[in-house]
Structure 1
Amino acid sequence: MDSNKKYWKGLEELNRTPEFVEKNKHEFAEPLPIEEVLSGAGLASRTPRRDFLKALGFGVGAVTLAACQKVPVHKSIPYLIKPEEVTPGVANYYTSTYNGHAILVKTREGRPIKVEGNPGDLLAGGGLSAQAQASVLDLYDTNRLKDPQMDGGDAGWDAIDSFVKQQLAAAQAGGKKIRIISSTVHSPSTQAVINDFVAKYPAAAHINYDAFSYTGIIQANQQSFGKAVLPHYNFDKADVIVSVGADFLGSWISGEEFTKQYVSNRGSKALESKKMSRHIQFESGMSITGTNADARIPVKVSEEGLVLIALYNAISGTTLPGTKKLENAKAATAVTLAAKELLAAKGKALVVAGSNEVANQVVANAINTLLGSYGATIDLDNPSNQYKGNDAQFVAFLNEAKRGEVGAAIFLNANPAYDYFNTKEVKEALSKIKLKVSFAGQKDETADLCTVIAPNHHYLESWGDDSAVSGYYTIMQPTINPVYNTRQAEQSLLIWSENATTDYYAYVRNNWISNLLTLGGLSGQSGWETLLQTGFVKVAPKAAAPVANAANVGAAAQLVAANSAKLAASGDDKVEVQLYLNTAIGDGSYANNPWLQELPDPVSKVTWDNYAALAPKHAEKLGVEEGDVVKIEANGYSVELPVLLQPGQAQGTVSIAVGYGRTHSGLVGNSVGKNAYPFASFSNGTVGKTLVATISKTGDVSPLAQTQTHHSYEGRDVIREVSLKEYLKDPAAGTDHGKEHKTYDLWEAHERPVYDWKMAIDLNACTGCGACIVACSAENNIPVVGKDEVRRRREMHWIRIDRYYSYEKNGKAEADEETGMVTKEKQIAELDNLDYVTVVHQPMLCQHCDHAPCETVCPVLATVHSSEGLNQMAYNRCVGTRYCANNCPYKVRRFNWFNYWNDSRFDNYLQNEHTQLVLNPDVTTRFRGVMEKCSMCVQRIQAGKLKAKIEKRPLTDGEIKVACQQTCTANAIIFGNANDPNSELSKALKSERTYYVLQELNVQPGIGYQVKVRNTIENELA
């Protein structure tokens, strides 16, 4: 740990608030409510704690008596004709694709239970996002439509087809327009189906509509270079990266792909070669990308464009028209230093901007032209296909519809009645269209306004393909028969256009055999079968064409300056608002997924809500505290949101996540948070997500369900962080190497002759995204508990990502020795420091200690050490004393307060007729009153060992991957056998950067962490 820095998890810990101090006097969230644990047994609600074991004894006795009674024997009936590909108890894996990523889908007895990344995936190399991991749960969502609907009631497919074809023919004959509105289509076969549909109905046209669009970048490239494309960015080829408001490790364009690229220049391998890229971030709200930057400079929303202009001026040595002096002195200094760094890395530099304003992107293009980025770190000739939405085209569609020119509108994966900023205009437009069809899988806000709902298959039930980036094609194949009476949208379009091929499987296969297989050197039926096994084909990229200097930069700079002036808030009640996507709920499409709702936000650690993120100093000025509800008003719309005090937030700004406030999402997502989309507006050809609003207190309070400070290390040091300069001087800087810790053995050590399972975690690679949390939940049947239970500190996640803020110590916020609290005066004096915090993310899970303190206090030997170095749980022995949780210094054990999977109070989240089909049969579901924790995916270890035994060979290194490791695009987690000196795990643990958390306690943890290294310029900015 950097001795010059102060590290803390949240403001309540920094300020030692009375609530924080009081909570940490108690080991557990609250006294054990016996009435909750035993209510199912009909015991008195006031059973005292000393009668707990009596009550349990009665329960155990009753179970024993029940086991001795004669009961009817129910014989299981085997398959009469066993499917060739199904072996009971053995998993099958199928290749498929998710948003352009090649994936593998694990099925058991014909039901998909887990999604994994395909190791050959070009984008993420086998890693997957939290959304992809959670997508399997949506398959079993009972809110999905069971049958097609017409005029609000169920209808048969024949009736739907007849009616739609009749209406389409009438619209065509009557000179009316037909419009297909979809989210970006990057499937070659889907696009071919749409093209065939348009050929059948010449009055038809296809409009790509994205709720969170990148029209600004596409149009800027058209203006600058005559190429209306979304570039393919190469962060792995950049030695210096400057981002102005682009959360490229999170929700910006292709977060997983960019994470893989980014870490390749910053992880262990890069550091071993004494190299590391430098990353400078300018942004208003704290993002995942900002937390990982070497230098992060908070700027107002209105200053982002001015930063780009200043950066261009500093690099070019000229002054653009409209240039204004940056009032933010820290930002001005950072721009000068950033320009110097970028010029020194010319040809290996990259500047990205998150704004959807065309003018801002034109200036960014001009900067990258000066740096020689095109053809190196930016590829215009092999572009991304991930976002093609055109904001102006959708506006034109609404105007056509309002004029009565549109006779039919078909919506595919698009929900503008929720996520367009002017839903009133959408409803008015749809009211004048006779035929309105939605392919929504559930009755969402737009489907609710439609004449016909032809529910689409879930992607795990579908055939298809994808091409997220040019030259990379992935195949989608079904892994289960349709759960409900749904039909693939493409097949519906084929039927309605009376295509010669109405079977979409045949259509996809023909398209590949005729057009795509040859791109990957395959052909015919054998090539098709090879494709289904590999999951993708890659094509050699096109050579980069020379790029001329970006055009129109002078005019763009003037427009940037004018827009910045409009965004500048003046007055105490005015704030600059930024709307953003978070990595869990995204644009709102995932709002009904409980795994994602309960995933803590990577920065704020808030679950089940969106909020108004304010800088602590700004909140102090407004007289509001965390959890206070404020009203934000702009553009004729207002929302009331709880306040989150966010260190690092730019003063005078508010960040609000979109994707919440759904009304037709389902039982889980309805009425969670507030809808912020209506704050957006259309100008200069794009939909902007920044604005000026008024803010006021309401007097209400709505506590947030935040997980970060649920557990305390009692002030012990757990983070190690150094600068690259310090690391190059001493690779062991920041570790405990050379520092002696006395060790004591209270018992004889046991030999581990074959396996000694351990883990290494690279803090330099971990971005804090949280995908590992969802992967662990999916693999290990971890239940969702809901907002109220999270507030009570009862979340069940086996792995958490601790987020630590830090800044240079100045002694202001030291706690009073007598009370343990920080005075209000010292808190206020500290506020200036909170603008320039840095962040470290640390995955924390059971450390599988060799001297595990939990094992020595368990009265029933429910937790014991295995002969392979694992700390194991025997759930049926556990009586729920919670002594183990009390004695665990890492606070990684979870207590089951309820039978979450079967308790009626959790119906909205888990308990329905289909959701339990997602459970992994290799892992038991735990019951009320027991402890659970990370098992190092022991079921995967056993499966790997069994496979090697059957094949009569030793296990190979890397053959067994735990769930958190497998999904990590950054390769931050390494698991393996420490007895193998050549294993990747052993090499990682031998790194000079490796240290062990709380090693001084002599618990001998089995997880080694590698020190966080920053290529910092903070000293130069100070």
Structure 2
Amino acid sequence: MDSNKKYWKGLEELNKTPEFVEKNKHEFAEPIPIEEILSGGGLSSKTPRRDFLKALGFGVGAVTLAACQKVPVHKSIPYLIKPEEVTIGVANYYSSTFEGSAILVKTRDGRPIKVEGNPNDLLSKGGLSASAQASVLDLYDNSRVKDPKQNGSDTGWEQIDQFVKSQLASVAAAGKKIRIITSTVHSPSTQAVIADFITKYPTAKHTNYDAVSYTGIIQANQNSFGKAVLPHYNFDKADIIVSFGADFLGTWISGEEFTRQYVSNRNNKSLEAKKMSRHIQFESGMSLTGTNADVRMPIKPSEEGVALVNLYNAISGTTLPGSKKLANANTDKAIVLVAKELVAAKGKALVVAGSNDVATQILVNAINSLLGSYGTTIDLDNPSRQYAGNDAELVEFINEAKRGEVGAVFFIDANPAYDYYMANDVKEALKKVSLKVTFADHVDETAALCNIVAPNHHYLESWGDDSAIEGYYTVMQPTINPVYNTRQAETSLLIWSDNAVKDYYTYVRNNWNTNLLAKGGLTGQAGWETLLQTGFVKVADVAAGTYTFNKDLNAVAQTVLNNSAKLADGGKVELQMYQSVAMRDGKRANNPWLQELPDPVSKVTWDNFAAMAPADIKKMGLDEFEVVIVEANGHKLSLPVLSQPGQAPGTVSVAVGYGRTAAGLVGNNVGKNAYPFHSFRNGTFQTTASATVKATGDIFPLSQTQTHHSYEGRTVIREASFKEYVKNPSVNSGKEGEHQTFSLWDEYERPAYNWKMAIDLNACTGCGACVVACSAENNIPVVGKEEVGRRREMHWIRIDRYYSFNQNGEAKVDGRSGKVTQEKEIDKLENFDNVSVVHQPMLCQHCDHAPCETVCPVLATVHSSEGLNQMAYNRCVGTRYCANNCPYKVRRFNWFNYWNDSRFDNYLNNEHTQLVLNPDVTTRFRGVMEKCSMCVQRIQAGKLKAKIEKRPLADGEFKVACQQTCSANAIVFGNANDPNSEISKALKSERTYYVLEELNVQPGIGYQVKVRNTSSELQA
């Protein structure tokens, strides 16, 4: 291992700032101020146990009634007469779908408590995103609309139906237009309902729009190949991937699916076959995908078009008119080298771009055509249906409404008053529409402008279906009765259009019986029941065709270059908007699990910010977290600035999805709304702009989690190049010089089970889905921004993010390099734009020589005969000796009774939200230590099932929560006593090493060395 390579969690650790040094003098987070203790500090004993989740506005009577009935509901069933399928204390699982992915929903006593991926799901094979994991909590949100509303007042469904139908009749008689505005609808049955509605009202039109748009790609494919589709990308078929600003492992199109594909060419199986794909990323802000790249090149948004033109020139051997060199000589050289690699991998290459500009995407199409990507890494014949929004149609609707041509509008899962870049235009337009109906489940920004709110069911209360990819159909079934007096949007449309079928369940059944069951070789009632068990049907793929680009690129290239020139406005910085992995487009801003999930790159929670390069911050004389005014496209926004290594100099990045004003108690006024920075150019919404940044002198602290825990300078990350790995698979794993271990006490045998875990750093992308999955499974409380700022977050698993300078300690600074071997030289560096990143999941290591166990005075933490470090919460008196002795800093102290304390009423403390708790896991009270238990409840359930069935426990029969949700399969857990188990094979990998094994704590989790497919020629 190269001792010159220095890893650092954040700039404060690298530069040893006074604040960081001071914090590190204290082993623990800030203690409770004495005045809080004396005054009671909000730790009221008056709050009853059943109100433990009142914090967020998340409600028990309604949910209890809903949970006690059969699904679908025909009559109430008292629990004295138990529903046949419900056994107290035994979980039921229902298949359903979330955004087109097949899922399994775990219910206990009739209430959904956990969402898992369906292992047979076509997209992620059982993996699930953080958003999907957190979606179950939305069901219990107490700020949901509980009854239909007319003009802001509660009313009944009969009154709503009468009013809407009379208004529609008036609109139809007047010949005015009717518009149905939705986010992308890819449900076959919903599409059929809308089509029936339009048949009844011929002046109606359906418009799909997405807050974060992919219209540019769809229109480019229409222009290039006559197919207005979003392609289905196959990253697993690509030997080399080049991305220009597409965060395909995070938020771009289908992150979980692409993660699974991507990792399949970089994990243990691939490496053992001496095969590894190569990934090169060009981008402005440091994205999740950029952190995983083998080579990352920071570029400005204005340089992206120039770079693509140059890449086309280098591959084709021609020169498009207007071509010019990039200002950065290193990037210009990199484009030529990348072109050579792409051509060498022809047929197994893939170039993608995150831009929504049609001309840019046409250029990308031309490049992929030259590389023979169509029919292999890009499939236009089995396209994705995940995004079908048409930006121009939404703009036209607003213009129609402003002209008074629209008589009625219906919003389904759409909130343009928040996420349209000119929200005032939406408000003005809707003033001229007589009937405005929204199916929102919250009184959101658009609902406040509507005269009818017809609240939709949560998806866990609904019947339906989905088709995210051509030929793949998933089914949705309710797992609980409607908690509130809501009604499915499709049912409302059926009633208002006088459809012969008024019940949506029947409508879905009819659609499947007529059209979809046969696609899966199913028929009749037996086929329907089989579908509800399996969750999906899959039609055989159409053979993916090859497509040749034969359009004239001269005008396209000129448009791209002109747009680049306009963006590179002299004296201004270049602004780029992006989606954060947790908050995405902002629809789930009221979900506290997502708000408290640290951003994978910045590790910021509960806020968005202006990310800038450290050199730019230094040049402007800004302090960290200083509030700056960002102005672009006629809009101003005050945001705290964050020094972000890897950010391209001269740029600023801001996440959309924040700044909600009508999301609910949790999401209101968290961060600032960046959607007004968008613009509408050449038929699509653009996410880049020229901007100015001005200092205000104010400070707005951000709550970050990354540097809350210190290893005192010890090395915990090990990595190698693919070239080194091929020569020596054990490179940097430390196996050549294994140290001798000693024991101060007798060892115990583990005759039956020896539970261990393996984590592959090459597979982990750092997405954080495991953090939310763990929170949902183990009843981990949300503490809020202020407590996170005090280093009191409660997550049992964290994803540590480490930076390092490229070239084994050399930092490239505008073509110059500075050797980083002494800390004093760090201060001389001007830029941090060329850094690499490693993500490392860190949780309790369940050490065989656990240092926490030897210091506990009450035996609250002890070792089991199966190798687990256990916590007896009732014994713990909160001395925190164990946390002091833990070198990994993975123990969490309950500073407050988070479930009962009134100070957390805006986070996770409400009578309904308690129903999402897992009854198999104890909820911890104030004053105890808690930590990862390796989901011991799942272990026990698996063992008990095997015992009842009188058989051995099979390998893989159960998975721990973090393992189960990981699309990358980065985490493996199992019985190391079984030599044929997956965990035994993983730990035998030459790449396996143990973090801080030199301390002789004998951790139970083995990590596998990070391998990057780097090229010294390109990296330099």
**How far is 1:960 from its partner?**
1.7
Residue 509 of structure 1 aligns to a residue in which SS?
helix
Q: 1:40 to 1:877 in 2, by over 3 A?
A: farther
Secondary structure (helix, strand or coil) at the match of 2:622 reads coil
SS of residue in 2 equivalent to 1:178: strand
Deviations, residues 748-803 of structure 1 (Å, cap 9, x unaligned): 00010000000000000000000000000000000000000000000000000000
Cα 1:790–1:550 shift into 2, 3 Å: farther
1:482 alignment counterpart: 482
Q: Is the 8 A contact 1:37 1:898 kept in 2?
A: no
> Match for residue 792 of structure 2?
794
- Per-residue deviation, 1:809: 2.2
Map 1:785-934 onto structure 2 (within 5 A): 785-807=783-805, 808-809=808-809, 826-832=825-831, 834-934=832-932
Structure 2 counterpart of 1:667: 665
Give the structure 2 partner of residue 530 of structure 1. 530
The RMSD of aligned alpha carbons is: 1.5
Q: Give 1:4 deviation, angstroms.
A: 3.8
Pair 1:690-2:694 in alignment: no
- Quick check: 1:2–1:722 contact (8 Å CA) kept in 2? no
Deviations for 1:900-945, whole angstroms, at most 9, x for unmatched residues? 0110000011111201110000001101000000000000000000
* Counterpart residue number, 2:726: 728
Paired with 1:11 and 1:354, the residues of 2 have a C-alpha distance of: 28
- Partners of 2:517 and 2:523 within 8 A in 1: yes
SS at match of 1:128: coil
Q: CA deviation at 1:614?
A: 0.3
Matched, 1:200 2:200: yes
Residue matched to 2:71: none
Cα gap change, 1:43 to 1:518, in 2 (>3 Å): closer
Does the 8 A contact of 2:762 with 2:1010 survive in 1? yes
Distance 2:685 2:913 in 1: 38
Q: Structure 1 residue 813: deviation in Å?
A: 9.2
Structure 2 runs not aligned, ≥5 long: 45-76, 812-817
Q: How much does 1:32 deviate? A: 5.2
What CA distance in whole angstroms lies between the structure 1 residues aligned with 2:550 and 2:629? 42
Match of 2:397? 397
Question: Partners in 2 of 1:740 and 1:577 — Cα distance?
Answer: 50
Partner of 2:311: 311
Determine helix, strand or coil for the equivalent of 1:831: coil
Distance 2:876 2:655 in 1: 41
Partner of 2:746: 748
Q: Which residue of 1 aligns with 2:612?
A: 614
Describe the shift of the 1:756–1:438 C-alpha distance in structure 2 as closer, same or farther (beyond 3 A).
same
Q: Distance in 2 between matches of 1:830 and 1:91?
A: 57
Counterpart of 1:69 in structure 2 is none
Q: How much has 1:328 moved relative to structure 2?
A: 1.4
Work out whether residues 721 and 1014 of structure 2, in 8 Å CA contact, stay in contact via their aligned partners in 1.
yes
Residues 333 and 1021 in structure 1, CA contact (< 8 A), matched pair in contact too: no
Question: Which ranges of structure 1 fall in alignment gaps of 5 or more residues?
Answer: 45-76, 817-821
Q: Summarize the Cα distance change of 1:621–1:558 in structure 2 as closer, same or farther, 3 Å threshold.
A: same
In 1, are the aligned partners of 2:43 and 2:896 still within 8 Å (CA)? no
CA distance in 1, matches of 2:491, 2:242: 45
Q: Distance in 1 between matches of 2:310 and 2:454?
A: 52
Match in the other structure for 2:176: 176
Question: Tell me, what secondary structure is at the counterpart of 1:247?
Answer: coil
- In 2, are the aligned partners of 1:813 and 1:830 still within 8 Å (CA)? no
TM-score, scaled to structure 2: 0.95
Partner SS for 1:632: strand
Q: How much does 1:5 deviate? A: 1.8
Q: 2:151 matched to 1:188?
A: no
1:361-400 equivalence runs, <5 A: 361-400=361-400
| SS of residue in 1 equivalent to 2:469 | coil
**SS of 2:563 mapped into structure 1:** helix
**Counterparts of 1:780 and 1:219, CA distance in 2:** 45
| Structure 2: distance between partners of 1:783 and 1:485 | 29
Q: Which has the higher contact order (CA 8 A, sep 6+)?
A: 2
Deviation at 1:855, TM superposition (A): 0.2
Q: Is the 8 A contact 1:37 1:928 kept in 2?
A: no
How many angstroms apart in 2 are the aligned matches of 1:263 and 1:39? 53
CA spacing shift, 1:747–1:916, aligned 2, 3 Å: same
Residue type at the aligned position of 1:1014: R
Q: Which amino acid aligns with 1:490?
A: E
1:459 is matched with 459
Letter in 1 for 2:295: A
> Corresponding residue for 2:701?
703
Q: Distance in 2 between matches of 1:449 and 1:42?
A: 38
Q: Deviations over 1:569-590 (max 9, x none)?
A: 322xx21000001111111101
Q: Deviations over 1:275-300 (max 9, x none)?
A: 00000000000000000000000000
Is the CA contact (8 Å cut-off) linking 1:2 and 1:720 kept in structure 2? no
TM-score (structure 1 length as normaliser): 0.95
SS in 2 for 1:830: coil
Structure-2 residue corresponding to 1:85: 85
Tell me, yes or no, if structure 1 residue 982 matches structure 2 residue 974: no
Conserved 8 A contact 2:133-2:773: yes
**2:57 matched to which residue of 1?**
none
SS in 1 for 2:921: coil
Offset at residue 743 of structure 1 (A): 1.5
The CA deviation at 1:169 is 1.1
Alignment correspondent of 2:27: 27
Corresponding position of 1:941: 939
Amino acid at match of 1:127: G
Q: Is the contact made by 2:379 and 2:545 (CA closer than 8 Å) also made in structure 1?
A: no
Q: State yes or no: 1:595 paired with 2:593.
A: yes
Does 2:151 align with 1:151?
yes
Distance 2:213 2:253 in 1: 9
In the TM superposition, residue 334 of structure 1 has moved relative to its aligned partner by: 1.2
Q: Deviations over 1:23-42 (max 9, x none)?
A: 11110122454665686599
Q: Kindly indicate whether the alpha-carbon contact (under 8 Å) linking 1:187 and 1:464 is maintained by their aligned counterparts in 2.
A: yes
Q: Which runs of 4+ in 1 moved over 6 A?
A: 41-44, 811-816
- Please tell me whether the aligned partners of residues 625 and 645 of structure 1 are also in contact (alpha carbons under 8 angstroms): no
Q: Give the AA of the match of 2:904.
A: F
Q: Distance in 1 between matches of 2:1016 and 2:629?
A: 36
Deviation readout 1:221-240 (Å, 9 max, x if unpaired)? 01111111000000000000
Contact 1:295/1:1016, CA 8 A, preserved across alignment: yes
**CA distance 1:843–1:183, shift in 2 (3 Å):** same
The structural deviation recorded for 1:3 is: 3.0
- How many residues of Structure 1 are paired with residues of Structure 2 in the alignment? 980
Residue 742 of structure 1 deviates from its aligned partner by 2.8
Indicate the larger mover: 351-360 or 800-809: 800-809
Q: Find the aligned partners of 2:334 and 2:619 in 1 and give their Cα distance.
A: 27
- How has the CA–CA distance of structure 1 residues 550 and 577 changed in structure 2, closer, same or farther, with 3 Å as cutoff? farther
- Asked if 2 retains the 8 angstrom alpha-carbon contact of 1:249 and 1:255, the reply is yes
Q: CA deviation at 1:548?
A: 2.4
What is the alpha-carbon distance in structure 2 between the residues aligned to residue 41 and residue 258 of structure 1?
A: 47
Alpha-carbon contact 2:4-2:820 (below 8 Å) kept: no
Residue of structure 1 in register with 2:652 after alignment = 654
Do the aligned partners of residues 781 and 42 (structure 1) sit closer, same or farther apart at CA in structure 2, a change above 3 Å counting? Answer: closer
Counterpart residue identity of residue 169, structure 2? A
The 1:880/1:33 distance shift into structure 2, 3 A limit, reads farther
Would you say the 8 A contact 2:322–2:558 is kept in 1? yes
Would the alpha carbon gap of residues 519 and 973 (structure 1) be closer, same or farther in structure 2, given more than 3 Å must change?
same
Amino acid at match of 1:1000: E
Residue identity in the other structure for 1:665: A
Q: How far apart are residue 810 of structure 1 and its match?
A: 5.3
Instruction: Report if aligned partners of 1:128, 1:968 keep a CA contact under 8 Å in 2.
Output: yes
Q: Per the alignment, in what secondary structure is the counterpart of residue 554 of structure 2?
A: helix
CA drift of 1:815 comes to 10
Q: Alignment identity in percent? A: 76
The CA deviation at 1:78 is: 9.5
* Aligned-partner Cα distance in 1 for 2:41–2:338: 66
Task: Check the 8 A contact 1:365/1:550 in 2, yes or no.
Answer: no
